[in-house]
Amino acid sequence: MAGLELLYHSVSPDISSPQDALICYLHWKLITQGFRCLGAGDEPGANERKSEMLPAGWNADSDLFTLRYRMKDDSRDLLLKGIMMDGSIILNAMDPKLQKVTALTLKVSDFIDPEHLADFDKVYQNTEELQAQVTAHIVSPFEAAKERSVAKEEPRRERNPSPPNPPDHDPLWIPPRHPHGSRQPNWPDPMGPFAVGGEDLNPFGSRSGGMIMDPLRSGFPNPILDPSSGLPNRLPPGSVPPGARFDPFGPPGANRSGE
């Protein structure tokens, strides 16, 4: 409890009751949590400043204590009130910004020895229990409420944020349009060890055509399909309608007999 002894000795001339010693302990605990005391009473006074010391008139009323605190970074305020009733002190702490109030009731004789108010080494007892009670009911509730308040103020993050664009990404670039369901031809690798004979198994699935001659891929530049190829005489006009599918009788460009 570093610092409590110095604080106690600084106010020992003003300590006249067991509850004074208990309030001194509560003040020290709040100081260790980053609070500084602004003054006594509900209303702020003139020329107030944050201090680690108990303010003047802090125990003017031995049955009612009112102290105001503020964090060192001004992020939180705390109003502490203590009321004596039947040997117990009823503590109420309120954070005006968070609109949160906590309460704690302590039996003074459980933690303060009234016979040794002038002896710091003997005045406090059951200090571990006292510290646990003050932390659980005065300090921790406000810390948890502050964390929840900060979490609500933070903007919600996207559940599935889009990945960052690569360095060379151009947002104005329009990708080429492809017909729905179109795919690039899956040309076989000519150097593949299993590509031998693939054209024969699928003669129209590649560029070479396999063993079956494809007139459109025969190697002749712009071949002209003549339905009469391979016949001794020319077919009469209109035998093959324009655009009709027709397999010629001979290879493209073959000369008819007699010509």
Does the residue 64 lie in any domain? Answer: yes
Across the beta sheet with 35-40, what order do the strands follow? 35-40, 64-71, 77-85, 88-95, 100-107
Per the listing, tokens 């008819």 go with 256
Does the residue 174 lie in any domain? Answer: no
The 8-class DSSP code of residue 233 comes to S
Say how many domains are in the chain. 1
Classify 202 as helix, strand or coil.
coil
Does the residue 246 lie in any domain? Answer: no
Does the residue 236 lie in any domain? Answer: no
Round the average pLDDT of the chain to a whole number and report it.
78
Q: Which run of H or of E encompasses 24?
A: helix 18-32
Does the residue 47 lie in any domain? Answer: yes
Question: Cβ-count burial of 111 within 10 angstroms (0-12 exposed, 13-18 middle, 19+ buried)?
Answer: buried
pLDDT value at residue 107: 97
Instruction: Quote the CA–CA distance of 20 and 68 in Å, as a whole number.
Output: 16
Instruction: Quote the CA–CA distance of 208 and 200 in Å, as a whole number.
Output: 10
pLDDT value at residue 142: 78
Cβ atoms within 10 A of the Cβ of 71, count? 16
pLDDT value at residue 96: 84
89: left (phi over 0), alpha (psi -120 to 50) or beta: beta
Does the residue 187 lie in any domain? Answer: no
Instruction: Quote the CA–CA distance of 87 and 106 in Å, as a whole number.
Output: 9
Q: Which run of H or of E encompasses 101?
A: strand 100-107
User: What domain range is 130 assigned to?
Assistant: 4-150
**pLDDT-flagged residues of the chain (< 70):** 144-171, 175-235, 238-240, 242-259
pLDDT tens profile 74-114: 988 999 999 999 999 999 999 988 888 999 999 999 999 99
Read off the CATH number of the domain in which 133 is found. Answer: 3.40.1000.30
What are the structure tokens assigned to 10, written together?
A: 């600084």
pLDDT value at residue 23: 97
Does the residue 29 lie in any domain? Answer: yes
The widest CA-to-CA distance across the chain, in whole angstroms, is 143
pLDDT value at residue 259: 47
Does the residue 41 lie in any domain? Answer: yes
In angstroms and rounded to an integer, the radius of gyration of the C-alpha atoms of the chain is: 48
